[in-house]
A and B are shown apart, each in its own frame.
Chain A
């Protein structure tokens, strides 16, 4: 077996707590590396595409990577992979920190969970030994409370858990560890459907590195570069720095994508928050960047990312920073994906405005209290919250009035904070994304913020650039490295080959890894095809097509242009 791997995964049946080790061949590991790639491969092996995402037999996979435990900066990460209950398509979300190291320390490269526990339970894994314990006493607890309670009970374990939203099967519930979330696509609901509140891991099995000295030298160089200008934005302001930039470019989604600028953007910007509040910084384990910026809000601190800021701020028209911070905090506690929560609530706010949604007149754009009330109702699936817990696509189907035209989603996944008409390469990235509208699996926005294209009038030339960002993301998510490192590489695939060589001993080349990335993208597509994908899914909601942004008439995306971009994307992919 190659260095850096254990050469097996742990398959756990949650219905009785039994577990077995299943060997993984070196050939499979070299083809899919780890993380998202390995997770999708295992998902296909398990036949998950044909199974309902919330059925007991649906597998949920935690996949580690050969780099986990190495001195390479930002490598303490794991992928959570399953069929999404929100999109019914493939879903892979990533999270960081000690869970990855302790999980891999259990002597496996992945953990596959199937079945449904008879009562709310915690799966305890120590050095590969597995048992179930009751978690009934933690019902209704937040992720952080659950983590703390389990550590108090079990000792020095690393815990990934769901909040109340996961227990209630909210279709965009998260799995959380150490304050960070495997956020998108509803993996928390998949775990909730298995009656699993948490997974606690502890392990001491280390893997060896093929070339430890060279690995240490490369790690040092990478860490050094991670202190440089390419990551300054993340260190100094965090992703929230995007807010004023996007507002200036008319690309800040506002009031359910009715506008690309928000008149109160400055009030919720990190520049303003840093002046009026205490701020601290944190980082994931084994990270030299430290992008987490935590702002005080009353007695507590709230980690604030651009995506939460836009989704719970401008998208809902809320410019009261107290309300936005509180909303982000409640989403964290309940275990809700902030993008989908904000997107679904903003959609409902517009439906109320259009009088398509009755008995909800309290739900108005700009009303921070209404936002908070809606979040609580979603977390508890109470009243209107029961509908909104289904996500904007299903809610639109229930509401009617052709409201699907304004539901801010692709394949059912709510659109992140990039106005597609103002950033049209990103529009393509959203349309073709395997897990739906997504800025982490396609970095096409980088192309829009470059000289390569005219962002409001992109041509077919944009497609190869969009594909390149998707391929890079597929490899980064499988190795797994934080994408905030991407700016430090001059030749990512070349350096990735070196890293893998030093860790595993493989004579990997940049070209081999480019093919690996394409293979992983193809595997996701294969899953989607098996799950029933049709070409009409690679599209954007009607709202974005043919109607320019009101504040920027040049930001218009015709249906013909998007169709041509998508067709060219499929052609270049060979699909």
Chain B
């Protein structure tokens, strides 16, 4: 499913089937990595998760900004606005745009103030 279709899917009211609402970007490329959105980033993206090809965090964010314009407000230059953070596989938080990503990685994007 292309990202435009994913938006249509979301707009059509299928806002809850997070696992079904799984848009695959660049689906011609093999084994893309996975991105999950939480909270405000999910609101902006209009989807909960998608697959995308990228070799670094900076590339990943660049691709997201290009494909999902509503995410641009979260992204500054090659990194995230300080109100948001990225996490790799639920383990490590990342900010360096040069951080290398592997194909099986899962990048989580969420608000920086996780508690409260």
CB within 8 Å of B: which residues of A?
Answer: 228-230, 232-234, 236-237, 239, 241-242, 244-246, 248-250, 266, 271-272, 275, 306, 418, 439, 443, 445-446, 449-451, 454, 456, 483-484, 486-487
Contacts and interface: CB of A to CB of B under 8 A. Distances in A.
Q: Which 8 A-B pairs have the closest CB atoms?
A: A229-B83, A241-B39, A449-B114, A233-B111, A445-B115, A230-B83, A451-B93, A232-B40
Given A451-B94, A487-B83, A439 B38 contact: no
Given A229-B73, A272-B16, A446-B113, A248 B38 contact: yes
Given A451-B94, A451-B95, A237 B40 contact: yes
A449 B85 contact: yes
Contacts, number: 87
Contacts of A232: 40, 83, 111
B116 A234 contact: yes
B91 to A, nearest CB: 8
Contacts of B51: none
A245 B74 contact: no
A449 B73 contact: no
8 contacts: A242-B115, A245-B110, A245-B111, A246-B114, A271-B16, A306-B116, A418-B115, A451-B94
A438 B75 CA distance: 33
Contact of A449 (B74, B94, B115): B115
Contacts of B7: none
A75 to B, nearest CB: 18
Contacts of A439: 115-116
A573 to B, nearest CB: 22
Contact of B74 (A229, A234, A241, A445): A229
B15 A275 contact: yes
A418 B115 CA distance: 9
| B: contact size bracket | 20 to 34
Contacts of A449: 85, 93, 112, 114-115
Interface string B83-116: 1110000111111000000000000101111111
A233 B40 contact: yes
Given A241-B40, A275-B16, A439-B116, 13 more contacts: A233-B40, A233-B113, A233-B116, A236-B43, A237-B43, A242-B115, A242-B116, A245-B39, A449-B85, A451-B92, A451-B95, A454-B92, A487-B113
Nearest to B43: A236
Given A449-B93, A451-B93, A454-B92, A245 B114 contact: yes
B73 A446 contact: no
Contacts of A229: 40, 73-74, 81, 83-84
B4 interface: no
